Amino acid sequence: MDYKQAGVDIDAGNEVVRRIRSMARGTFTPGVLSEIGSFGGLFRLDAAGISDPVLVASADGVGTKLRLAFLTGIHRTIGIDLVNHCVNDILVQGAQPLFFLDYLATGRLEPDVAVQIVAGLSTACRENGCALLGGETAEMPGFYADGEYDVAGFIVGAVARDRLIDGSAITPGDALIGVPSSGLHTNGYSLARRIVFDLAGLDVDSHVAELGTTVGAALLEPHRSYLPIIRPLLPSGLIKGMAHITGGGITDNLPRILPKGTAARIDPAAWQVPPVFEWIQRTGHVPDDDMRRTFNMGIGLIIACADVAADRVLADLAAAGEPHAARIGRVTGEGDGVRYVAP
Amino acid sequence: MDYKQAGVDIDAGNEVVRRIRSMARGTFTPGVLSEIGSFGGLFRLDAAGISDPVLVASADGVGTKLRLAFLTGIHRTIGIDLVNHCVNDILVQGAQPLFFLDYLATGRLEPDVAVQIVAGLSTACRENGCALLGGETAEMPGFYADGEYDVAGFIVGAVARDRLIDGSAITPGDALIGVPSSGLHTNGYSLARRIVFDLAGLDVDSHVAELGTTVGAALLEPHRSYLPIIRPLLPSGLIKGMAHITGGGITDNLPRILPKGTAARIDPAAWQVPPVFEWIQRTGHVPDDDMRRTFNMGIGLIIACADVAADRVLADLAAAGEPHAARIGRVTGEGDGVRYVAP
């Protein structure tokens, strides 16, 4: 018995590695010192030109959004989702991305699927100025169903120590600015799938008039990167804190940046909840609280700044290409957590 | 329908996060600026005291060794395996580990299992002087069978640029020193399991006289970290290259550090192959070539150095606590790859 009979095909793996390597090379920035295939990826931090740098790192997956990729056969956007999710997670602390590594695990490696995923990773890495520095492709017979996989991403960025954004300067009275999401991003898919597929009996090709597209297209919409619109704002120093609205929604994520003794008041009428969330809520009879603790509800990023700075931040966002950000609430000194009330 | 009905228990997740946070805090080194639970983990590179640092990063999993953990209910060593594997992958380029992040994915989160895994991660991180800086715990209903999970690790280390080890100085005539492995490490488990469980019909509790222990104990033996014995040797500058012998064995891993135009001659009689490999080979009637391309065969790390430096390297290894390293071959100028021949 050899390794291939046991379900692991090293040659197929090597072929995928060759194709991946070439795509990854296209993302390399001046900091990269190594070729994919070294034991570790090498990155010269001084190439980033950041004085007194603090490294900011994050690990993430895309959750059960993967199921949509399995159902549609579209895997490229999963790679985009993963990179952008990671980029946003370190951006909220003021960091610019330096490099990214992925972990891709399958039962039996399907080269075309792996290549699609890495094509998405590479595209998003390039768009974010982030090197795809390495990764691991694991073939684990019996761990994943045929045609299924899991993928995790790991990002390292850097920020000058005196530009670190951690929310500690947030005080009652500060404004909370909501920046639109591009869809469900990468959270809430277990609930969304149960409602859409099990309860409503739809499939990925079902057209939903209200959404103007198919179920698959609406739910696969990629997680956007906030880097292009936030990067131009960082030098101003006006941003006191940022929350990336991921699993747990505004309810669980906004408090992660609020100092002890502060809370948030969010006006649910301050923005238009996108049709996809309203459709999911109505179809699944989901209570408001659960929706808000599960989905981003159309707000993928919240910025905290002084009330007097809010108009300037909104103008800067518009100038950077995001005209649809809006004040959605404010920081208060009462209680803790998030309350949803009209102002 | 709410999120919990859909299979995701945010409160159980939060409870695990609290327990994980406290274990992770115990690994924190002076470089860590953040608490677990921030969007990104923060690390001050200057705390590592490395001049002109190059970052070295790697992503890894433990492969189907996980199946042994599922069968035995022992999950702590998986965490140790993962960290040590990652530490070795960057150590071979001369890097000391700075921080580690994990990605843990399950179908339904079993808090005790997650806590066992993170206990192992924390122990190994502490032993390697590496901060457990963060991670992601993903509950993905329907993706993993009950009681199963996958786990990936991401490590970042640093090395002074003029201390970077990349094998480029390796020349024909150099000595190859083999350092013992502690068992299968984290590779070859798909084949090992097929042979031991399917072919031989054993189970994890079966006692194997030849191994002096049970199948479960022999196969779960943790992947060792080479940091404690290699770190003292790094300042000497005698090490030209190191290969971590992982998936693909010596056959596929040693060539990763050999410059173009060089090859390796390995003397298979130069070390005693440990009983666990002989037992697997005999039980599965596995050809030599497949064994050597699948398992580490008792050699977990290979060091390349000038022939005249080899005795000094062996003495330094012995002084650092590893008296069982040995010359196992040499670099040649003929062909490429690895040939197994008596000298």
Chain A, chain B: beta-carbon pairs less than 8 Å apart: 250
In angstroms, how far is CA B158 from the centroid of its own chain?
Answer: 18
Q: How far is residue B123's CA from residue B254's CA, in Å, rounded to a whole number? A: 29
Tokens of B106: 């399950």
- Partner-chain residue, chosen from A1, A34, A57, that has the shortest CB–CB distance to B101: A57
Does residue B40 register a pLDDT over 80?
yes
The answer to whether the beta carbons of residues B67 and B75 sit under 8 Å apart is no
Contacts of B148 in chain A (CB under 8 A): 143
Q: How does pLDDT run across B326-340, given as a tens digit for each residue?
A: 999 999 998 889 999
**pLDDT class of A150 with cuts at 50, 70, 90:** very high
**pLDDT class of A111 with cuts at 50, 70, 90:** confident
Does residue B287 register a pLDDT over 90?
yes
Q: How far is residue A203's CA from residue A332's CA, in Å, rounded to a whole number? A: 44
Instruction: Select from A154, A144, A150, A56 the least CA-distant residue to A102.
Output: A154
Indicate which of B45, B55, B198 best probes the interface with A, i.e. most A CBs within 10 Å of its own CB: B55
Q: How does pLDDT run across A21-32, given as a tens digit for each residue?
A: 889 999 999 999
* Span B285-289, average pLDDT: 96
CA distances from B265 to A155, A297, B329, B340 (A): 39, 62, 5, 6
Q: How far is residue A163's CA from residue A234's CA, in Å, rounded to a whole number? A: 8
Q: How far is residue B126's CA from residue B142's CA, in Å, rounded to a whole number? A: 34
> Which residues have C-beta within 8 Å of that of residue B304, sequence separation ≥ 6?
B167, B170, B174, B175, B176, B177, B239, B240, B241, B242, B243, B257, B331
β-sheet bridge partners, residue A104:
A137, A151
Contacts of A60 in chain B (CB under 8 A): 103, 136
Percent of chain A topping pLDDT 90: 81
Q: Which helix (H) or strand (E) holds B262?
A: none
Comparing A39-53, A168-182, B114-128, B236-250, the range with the smallest average pLDDT is A39-53
Interface contact A256-B40, CB threshold 8 A: no
Higher pLDDT, B146 or A295: A295
> Which residues have C-beta within 8 Å of that of residue B69, sequence separation ≥ 6?
B75, B77, B78, B220
Output the pLDDT for position B4: 58
Higher pLDDT, A146 or A79: A79
Output the pLDDT for position B35: 65
**pLDDT class of A3 with cuts at 50, 70, 90:** low
Q: Which helix (H) or strand (E) holds A87?
A: helix A76-91
Interface contact A1-B194, CB threshold 8 A: yes
What ipTM was predicted for this assembly?
A: 0.93
Interface contact A199-B1, CB threshold 8 A: yes
Comparing A28-42, A107-121, A139-153, A196-210, the range with the smallest average pLDDT is A28-42
Output the pLDDT for position B20: 84
What letter would DSSP give residue A194? I
Interface contact A55-B64, CB threshold 8 A: no
Tokens of B181: 């492995």
Q: How does pLDDT run across B129-138, given as a tens digit for each residue?
A: 999 999 988 8
Output the pLDDT for position A32: 94
* Span B53-60, average pLDDT: 95
* Span A231-252, average pLDDT: 96
Q: How does pLDDT run across B208-231, given as a tens digit for each residue?
A: 999 999 999 999 999 999 999 999
Q: Which residue's entry shows tokens 């046991």?
A: A6
Greatest alpha-carbon pair distance for chain B in Å reads 72
Task: Please tell me the distance in Å from A38's CA to the nearest CA on chain B.
Answer: 7
Tokens of A257: 């940046």
In angstroms, how far is CA B169 from the centroid of its own chain?
Answer: 25
- Partner-chain residue, chosen from B102, B140, B287, that has the shortest CB–CB distance to A64: B140
Output the pLDDT for position A17: 77
- Partner-chain residue, chosen from B2, B134, B190, that has the shortest CB–CB distance to A8: B190
β-sheet bridge partners, residue A236:
none
Mean pLDDT, chain A, integer: 93
Closest-CA residue of A relative to B147 is A143
State the amino acid at position B322 in one-letter form. Answer: E
Output the pLDDT for position B5: 62
Output the pLDDT for position B141: 83
* Span B58-63, average pLDDT: 95
Task: Please tell me the distance in Å from B127's CA to the nearest CA on chain A.
Answer: 20
Indicate which of A46, A50, A136, A146 best probes the interface with B, i.e. most B CBs within 10 Å of its own CB: A136
Long-range contacts of the stretch B201-208 (C-beta < 8 A, 24+): B203/B71, B204/B68, B204/B71, B204/B72, B208/B279
Mean pLDDT, chain B, integer: 93
Percent of chain A topping pLDDT 70: 96
**pLDDT class of B14 with cuts at 50, 70, 90:** confident
> Which residues have C-beta within 8 Å of that of residue A222, sequence separation ≥ 6?
A77, A80, A81, A84, A182, A183
Q: How far is residue B293's CA from residue B295's CA, in Å, rounded to a whole number? A: 6
* Span B30-40, average pLDDT: 78
Kindly report the backbone phi and psi dihedral angles of residue B214, in degrees, each rounded to the nearest multiple of 5, phi listed first.
Answer: -85, 160
**pLDDT class of A61 with cuts at 50, 70, 90:** very high
Instruction: Select from A282, A272, A274, A271 the least CA-distant residue to A213.
Output: A274
Q: How far is residue A112's CA from residue A131's CA, in Å, rounded to a whole number? A: 22
Output the pLDDT for position A21: 86
* Span B1-15, average pLDDT: 65
* Span A68-89, average pLDDT: 97
Does residue B316 register a pLDDT over 80?
yes
* Span B188-200, average pLDDT: 95
Dihedral through CA B20, CA B26, CA B31, CA B35, nearest 10? 40
**pLDDT class of A10 with cuts at 50, 70, 90:** low
* Span A326-337, average pLDDT: 94
Output the pLDDT for position B36: 54
